[in-house]
Amino acid sequence: MNPVDTQTKTAPLDVEQIRQDFPILRRKVHGKRLVYLDNAATSQKPQSVIDAISHYYSHSNANVHRGVHCLAEEATEAYETVRRKVCQFINGDDPNSIVFTRNTTESVNLVAHAWGRKFLGKGDEVVLTVTEHHSNLVPWQLLAEDTGCKLRFIDIDDEGRLRTDHLDEYITEKTKLVCMGHVSNALGTIHSVRTIACAARAVGALVFVDGAQGAPHGPVNVETLDCDFYAYSPHKALGPLGIGVLWARRDLLEEMNPFLGGGEMIRNVSLERSTWAGVPYKFEAGTPSVADAVGLGASIDYLMELGMENVRTHEKQIVSYAMERLAELPFIRFFGPRDPADRCGLVSFIDADIHPHDLGTVVDQHGVAIRAGHHCAKPLMHRLGVVATARASFYIYNDRSDVNKLIDSLLEARKVFGL
Ligand code: PMP
């Protein structure tokens, strides 16, 4: 299938049909239909992904890149085919620019170690944003401690959009790298990557994009985003847990140090020293998660068949409806941009009288799975002046009936607390 064709085909998602593909959505929770609204944490998996993993273990299981036997060749071909698919999915031009990791977190750590520790030092600055998930913050803090480089943070406006009006105050001649989320997991804001990348380019800085909440929810084109690194977690995009993606410009991968040492990542080894394999293998030490890669391939096929533009349109409609319904509840305050065009399919909110954790527990009794907490974005919670929020995050198998169920269960929570 040609992914370019499927990305341009526009058609509304057939949610009823899609639901049939997800066995877990047939189960009940506390005797109620499962309304899964925790997709920003991880998505559910279609039968085709589950089958692909099972088929791999039943038919082709072997270690990759090592054997000369039939199964080893099949496993290697399956694994490398997925590298090519991922490259198409994010519109990269070179499959060898795709490194398989365990998740977004590992991808960030890889770059912080392999690029950051080689190229940054005292006097250099890394610019982040106050909205970052801990995964795209802590590795840079560790880097700053080790190298003496300094971290700076772009602030947000009242609607949770990055302040791009004074970028020259943050991004200066000292800036060597800008690290930003594509989409905020706690606010839902789709960040203006291109604007910020443009400011970074003007001072010769590189751009790292944490795409954990971007890639699953709409078309990604690393060329038009104008970034140098893009990381995401396939488990949030219908794929299996346990495999992550890092895309980087090939020349950067070439000049970076290895991350983990061990088998597979070497060209030659003597007792005293070793030399490194070419990219991307230099960054893939040890036995990779081959079955998860195969599952990732199946998840990309599924999403491409739907068309990522259609996924985006669907989420925009559903989040728009969710905000409309939440706005009817005077005790609810939600965060992030009001304009659905600026946000992905999630909404973060608080009830004026009920702690988000209590809210999460009560709505769960009605079969509604939401997330409550700081969403691994403690500095952002602090910036918003709250300790936690409740978050409903939608995906391709959610529709208005799920939003209605959420609203009904929020009203039930009020009753439970005598409000
Ligand atoms: N960044 C963002 C924006 C996220 O939402 C998440 C997951 N919640 C991560 C990074 C980390 O992803 P993972 O746990 O798969 O490494």
The pLDDT value recorded for residue 3 is: 37
**Stretch (H or E) spanning 357:** helix 356-364
Kindly list the distances between the CA atom of residue 89 and the CA atoms of 65, 247, 274, 300, in Å, as whole numbers in the listed order.
Answer: 24, 11, 34, 7
Mind listing the domains of the chain with CATH numbers?
3-45+308-416 (3.90.1150.10), 49-304 (3.40.640.10)
Taking only the tens place, the pLDDT of each residue in 324-340 is 999 999 999 999 999 99
Q: 212 CA distance to ligand 1 centroid (A)? A: 5
**pLDDT digits 0-9 by tens, 158-199:** 999 999 998 999 999 999 999 999 999 999 999 999 999 999
Average pLDDT, integer, range 227-236 = 98
Atom of ligand 1 nearest to the CA of 181: 3
DSSP annotation string for 15-62: HHHHHHT-GGGGSEETTEE-EE-BTTT-----HHHHHHHHHIIIII--
Using CB distances shorter than 6 Å, the residues near ligand 1 are 40, 103-105, 133, 135-136, 181, 185, 210, 212-213, 233, 376
Give 374's strand partners. Answer: none
Triad 345, 347, 349: Cα angle to 5°? 175
Q: Which residues are identified as catalytic?
A: 376
Quote the tokens at residue 89.
Answer: 């999915």
Ligand 1 pocket test: which of 100, 111, 133, 296 has the largest number of ligand atoms within 8 Å of its C-beta?
Answer: 133
CA of 104 to the centre of ligand 1 (A): 6
Ligand 1 atom with the shortest distance to the CA of 236: 15
Rg for the chain, CA atoms, rounded: 22
Question: What is the rounded average pLDDT for all residues in the chain?
Answer: 96
Model pTM score: 0.96
Tell me: the pLDDT tens digits for 196-223?
999 999 999 999 999 999 999 999 999 9
List the structure tokens of 217: 């929810």
Report the pLDDT value the prediction gives residue 8, as an integer from 0 to 100.
Answer: 54
201 Cα: distance to centroid of ligand 1 (angstroms): 26
| pLDDT given at position 66 | 78
CA 273–ligand 1 middle distance (angstroms) = 35
- The residue whose C-alpha atom lies closest to atom 8 belonging to ligand 1 is 41
Residue of 136, 162, 233, 238 to test ligand 1 pocket, by largest number of atoms within 8 Å of CB: 233
Centre of ligand 1 to C-alpha 111, Å, is 15
| pLDDT for the residue numbered 67 | 78
Q: Please say if the pLDDT value at position 86 is more than 50.
A: yes
What are the tokens at 413?
């929570």
Residue of the nearest CA to atom 6 in ligand 1?
212
